[in-house]
Structure 1
Amino acid sequence: MNKNKITLISGISLLMFIIVDILMSSKFVGIENNNGVLRTIILAIAVYLIPIALGYANWKFAYHLLGIVVAIYTLNFSTVFIVMFQNSHFNLLIKILMIIISILGIIVNLMWYRIAWGQIRSDYVRIVKRNIK
């Protein structure tokens, strides 16, 4: 059950990253850097899906690995947040929209840690019980 919640929150986190990535590289924001958007999205999907699949296969460090991935993408949301505050050439509506999306992304990733902690703790218990015998 907990794995399904982790997967759901991971999917939401991935979706929010994809939205931010597309918006940050579009004419809508004004940066217009379309060079690696598709590659970045494909890489993000792979980086999220591999640990999720390993988690369902009961690999003991899958959610630790996914935790590192979520931390990296949380830094990405933080970077977008900082860029929107520091640059004054963006439209105010765009700034507000991107800041709200970034804050929501950070909140979703923090929720991921809250939910995943139970699974990570149970993995530790399983590992310790197996090694004590």
Structure 2
Amino acid sequence: MAPFDYVILRAAPRIQRGEFINVGAVLYCRALDYLGAGWDVKPERLRALDPAVDVDVVCASLDQIRAICAGEAAGGPAAGTTISERFRWLAAPRSTVVHPGPIHSGITEDPAADLERLLDAFVR
């Protein structure tokens, strides 16, 4: 068993209103050298908060987060850092359409399976 940290990713189509929908998760497990992200966007839920939301922009932001976790060049400069630095960067508060919630923790034997469990519990 190994400890892990995670954040739930939230989309706020109209940030000034403070309303958001959970759209993804990032899970980091240092002991198992794991950093992963998953997302599941329901356009109709986003449009309930803002009928003019650009769903493609939200999905592109989430795909960039996935690329950062994977250390892919598409993730930009943040993708070239250590996985610990990448998680801290992704978990830092920001005022953007897609932003992280608070950091929470857990214990895992299989971080990829726990990422899916988090997506099922908080996003899907």
TM-score normalised to structure 2 length: 0.36
Task: Identify the structure with the greater strand proportion.
Answer: 2
Task: Identify the structure with the greater helix proportion.
Answer: 1
TM-score normalised to structure 1 length: 0.34
